[in-house]
């Protein structure tokens, strides 16, 4: 299935210069976009896997678009996930580095 960002909207207020926005995609996948000064700098696709009532895993594919601030963006995304695990309704989190794939996907989108 083709990956598309269907919609992005605010869920949690960020600090003065960082806004987190959240999008929901069908089939239990969620995109989390990280915005800096209203520019999309990173994106995550999270897939929720329920193993049992108490044990929910969230697999997050992490991609960073702003290569100048790559470390900051990754840190923001990790902080966002770990501080919002209850919002994500998960007990464990697995972050998968997909930076190269995300850069390629967005390069393809931008050339259309």
pLDDT surpasses 50 at 11? no
pLDDT surpasses 60 at 61? no
**Whether the model pTM is above 0.85:** no
Question: Percent of the chain beyond pLDDT 70?
Answer: 0
Q: Domain limits of the chain?
A: 9-110
pLDDT at position 94 is 58
| φ, ψ for residue 71, nearest 5 deg | -65, -45
Distance (Å, rounded) from C-alpha 66 to C-alpha 64?
6
Q: Across all residues in the chain, what is the average pLDDT?
A: 53
List the alpha helices (DSSP H) in 1-112.
Answer: 70-83, 99-110
CATH superfamily membership of 9-110: Gcn5-related N-acetyltransferase (GNAT) (3.40.630.30)
């Amino acid at each position: 299935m083709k990956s598309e960002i269907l919609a992005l909207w605010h869920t949690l207020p960020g600090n003065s210069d960082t806004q987190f926005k959240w999008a929901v995609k069908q089939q239990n996948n969620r995109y989390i976009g990280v915005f800096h000064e209203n520019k999309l700098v990173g994106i995550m696709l999270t897939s929720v896997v329920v193993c049992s009532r108490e044990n929910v895993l969230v697999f997050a594919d992490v991609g960073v678009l702003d290569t100048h601030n790559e470390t900051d963006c990754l840190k923001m995304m990790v902080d966002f996930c770990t501080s919002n695990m209850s919002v994500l309704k998960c007990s464990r989190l697995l972050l998968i580095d997909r930076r190269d794939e995300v850069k390629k996907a967005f390069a393809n989108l931008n050339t259309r």
